[in-house]
A = this chain, B = another copy of it.
């Protein structure tokens, strides 16, 4: 378009009269576009086997005032790309583009959650879940879905857990004692019911594990162990992906400790459930 600024890549392709070393610089840039965004003059000079001066002149020949301006263009380019998703630059259908975008976020959520997990904490969580007499899982909104899932997995792993019902959190907590465990799940904005039930549990010396979004969360204040779960998302609600991974890992850890026990239970459950299933 006339008047609008031609993109960096376009400029490189259209500029005429590049010398040999400048050609090398161009190839270097085009080859590793998004890494290059982090390079300085000197680094680019080395990689292209030229000199700082030549790099600067190259940037100027492209129409920028200097190297800095060129790198700014590069940074803008890379930022845009990393937002769009690399394989779908030519976003075919809207829904597909959204899918890729959502998936990217959740992959990231999972990775961040994992790398943020403290090992001793995780081991502690598993042991606490194993040894508790009763286990109650509470959560509100999306967190209710999570609590249902966790309760399901724990039960499957041979450590039955009850999913608390929102209106009844206090009652359910009141039935617990110091040998029991409360798992509280809540993300900003924190559900009053969940937070208060957790505070109550703390006063009663009940063991507490919290799943939340950051250590500053009100839940973290009361919990023996706090696991932070990333859930950045395009909608406002917290994404479940990272949580499910964490929950599954915990359940799997527990199940694998007494494997034959778990297998036996499983076979039994399947036999009983048989009429429920169809052959395919």
Which A residues lie at the B interface, using CB under 8 A?
1-3, 7, 9-10, 12-14, 23, 27, 30, 33-35, 37-38, 75, 78-79, 81-82, 84-86, 88, 91-96, 98-104, 106-108, 110-112, 114-120, 122-123, 125-126, 140, 142, 145, 148-149, 152-153, 156-157, 188-193, 195, 214-218, 228, 233-237, 239-241, 244-246, 248-253, 255-256, 266, 270, 275-278, 280
**Among A94, A120, A241, which residue has the most Cβ atoms of chain B within 10 A?**
A241
- Expressed in whole angstroms, the minimum distance between the Cβ of A58 and any Cβ of chain B is 15
CA distance A126 to B252 in the complex (A): 34
CA distance A163 to B176 in the complex (A): 31
**Among A14, A103, A114, A192, which residue has the most Cβ atoms of chain B within 10 A?**
A114
CA distance A248 to B133 in the complex (A): 36
Given contacts A103-B249, A192-B278, A244-B244, 6 further A-B contacts (CB under 8 A): A12-B116, A13-B215, A94-B123, A106-B244, A110-B241, A189-B278
CB of B96 within 8 A of CB of A119, answer: yes
**Among A100, A214, A251, A278, which residue has the most Cβ atoms of chain B within 10 A?**
A278
Q: A98-B256, A235-B251, A278-B192 are in contact. Are A115 and B10 (CB under 8 A)?
A: yes
Complex contacts, A23 vs chain B, CB 8 Å? 216
Complex contacts, A240 vs chain B, CB 8 Å? 149, 240, 244
CA distance A239 to B78 in the complex (A): 21
Q: A216-B280, A275-B192 are in contact. Are A99 and B84 (CB under 8 A)?
A: no
CB of A278 within 8 A of CB of B218, answer: yes
Complex contacts, A81 vs chain B, CB 8 Å? 108, 111
CB of B122 within 8 A of CB of A276, answer: no
Taking a contact as CB atoms closer than 8 A, the residue among B9, B102, B122, B256 that contacts A93 in the complex is B122
CA distance A99 to B251 in the complex (A): 10
CA distance A43 to B13 in the complex (A): 33
Complex contacts, A10 vs chain B, CB 8 Å? 115-116
- Expressed in whole angstroms, the minimum distance between the Cβ of A3 and any Cβ of chain B is 5
Chain B residue with the shortest CB-CB distance to A75: B38
Can you list 25 A-B pairs with a CB-CB distance of less than 8 A? A1-B117, A2-B119, A10-B115, A13-B118, A35-B79, A78-B82, A82-B86, A91-B119, A93-B119, A93-B122, A95-B123, A96-B117, A96-B119, A102-B248, A106-B245, A142-B152, A145-B149, A149-B240, A152-B237, A188-B280, A191-B277, A191-B278, A193-B276, A239-B248, A241-B248
